[in-house]
């Protein structure tokens, strides 16, 4: 039982809340039973250590057993140690340290993707996580993230994906212009989702490969990025409403692409 909140181990796990430490160590933290469960299901070879409080050990016995059976090191901790390791205010008693899995754009393109999302300069962790979750729910083949965006392995992003971060490739650190060129070269239409678009979402052909390009929460997509896209698409909304937020717009576009809203 780990009880020393000042131990090197606690400090080392806690330091993974910093981007520089995640990048240096190639590790990140998954907090809460849902995320940990999906890590064990879909990325078991990357799970290093599982930390669990006595209460969570009882509550999630199946999960902890599954982890032990596949050889994950399970450490029982007291509540204070788990709280010290976690960056959330209400930790759920279960936390794993996982190795990151760098994926390249080339690998994604080689898999002949039919539906992608490209996040350009998305800054809010909750938005990024929600879009990854939506991309997963609506069958996207990968999420692409530009270099000016939030780190997708930040604890808040990982938490907001509720495990989806382990379900589909997430490629980070991309240059937006080079990525748009690579998508075009691969025959994937790039659809800028933007309130300035003249094409309405219901008129988009969703049957051929395409990528939704989503911009920053506050300022959207700059003209030079929109101009590089195949089309600029607007979700038709009431004129009283200035805009949808990023996560809502992405969700609606992805749902339309997947056929979740209508028969194709």
Interface residues toward a second copy, by CB under 8 A:
34, 42, 130, 133-134, 136-139, 162-164, 167, 201-203, 235-238, 240-242, 244-245, 247-248, 251-252, 255-256, 258-263
| Of residues 119 and 235, the one with the C-beta less far from a second copy | 235
| Of residues 208 and 238, the one with the C-beta less far from a second copy | 238
Instruction: Give the shortest CB-134-to-a second copy separation in angstroms.
Output: 6
Instruction: Give the shortest CB-223-to-a second copy separation in angstroms.
Output: 23
> What are the Cα distances from residue 70, in Å, to 41, 43, 44?
10, 11, 8
| Of residues 127 and 179, the one with the C-beta less far from a second copy | 127
| Of residues 213 and 246, the one with the C-beta less far from a second copy | 246
Instruction: Give the shortest CB-261-to-a second copy separation in angstroms.
Output: 4
CB 187 within 8 A of CB 109: no
| Of residues 187 and 259, the one with the C-beta less far from a second copy | 259
Distance CA 239, CA 190 (A): 26
DSSP string, 123-187: --HHHHHHHHHHHHHTT-SEEEEETTSPPTTSHHHHHHHTTGGGTS-EEEEE-HHHHHHHHHHTT
Instruction: Give the shortest CB-142-to-a second copy separation in angstroms.
Output: 14
The label of the residue with tokens 């999906």 reads 38
Instruction: Give the shortest CB-15-to-a second copy separation in angstroms.
Output: 25
| Of residues 16 and 220, the one with the C-beta less far from a second copy | 220
Distance CA 31, CA 50 (A): 10
Strand partners for 114: none
| Of residues 36 and 235, the one with the C-beta less far from a second copy | 235
DSSP string, 35-92: HHHHHHHH-GGGEEEEEEEHHHHHHTHHHHHHHHHTT-EEEEE-HHHHHHH--SSS--
CB 130 within 8 A of CB 247: yes
Tokens of 217: 């929460």
CB 111 within 8 A of CB 254: no
Instruction: Give the shortest CB-37-to-a second copy separation in angstroms.
Output: 10
Instruction: Give the shortest CB-130-to-a second copy separation in angstroms.
Output: 7
Phi, psi of 118 (to 5 degrees): -115, 120
Distance CA 246, CA 90 (A): 26
């Amino acid at each position: 039982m780990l009880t020393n909140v000042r131990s090197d181990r606690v400090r080392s796990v806690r330091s993974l809340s910093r981007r520089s430490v995640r990048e240096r160590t190639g590790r990140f933290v998954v907090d809460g039973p849902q995320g940990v469960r999906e890590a064990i299901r879909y990325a078991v070879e990357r799970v290093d250590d599982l930390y669990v409080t006595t209460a969570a050990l009882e509550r999630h016995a199946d999960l902890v057993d599954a982890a032990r059976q596949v050889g994950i090191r399970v450490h029982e901790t007291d509540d204070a140690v788990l709280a010290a390791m976690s960056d959330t205010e209400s930790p759920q008693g279960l936390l794993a340290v996982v190795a990151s899995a760098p994926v390249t754009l080339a690998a994604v393109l080689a898999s002949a993707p039919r539906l992608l999302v490209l996040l350009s300069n998305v800054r809010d962790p909750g938005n990024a996580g929600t879009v990854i979750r939506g991309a997963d729910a609506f069958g996207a083949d990968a999420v692409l993230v530009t270099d000016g965006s939030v780190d997708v392995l930040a604890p808040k992003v990982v938490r907001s994906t509720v495990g989806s971060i382990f379900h589909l490739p997430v490629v980070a650190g991309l240059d937006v212009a080079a990525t748009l060129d690579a998508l075009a070269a691969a025959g994937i239409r790039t659809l800028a989702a933007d309130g300035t678009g003249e094409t309405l979402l219901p008129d988009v052909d969703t049957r051929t490969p395409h990528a939704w390009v989503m911009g920053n929460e506050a300022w959207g997509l700059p003209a030079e990025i929109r101009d590089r896209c195949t089309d600029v698409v607007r979700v038709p909304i009431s004129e009283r409403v200035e805009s949808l937020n990023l996560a809502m717009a992405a969700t609606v576009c992805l749902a339309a692409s997947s056929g979740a809203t209508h028969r194709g």
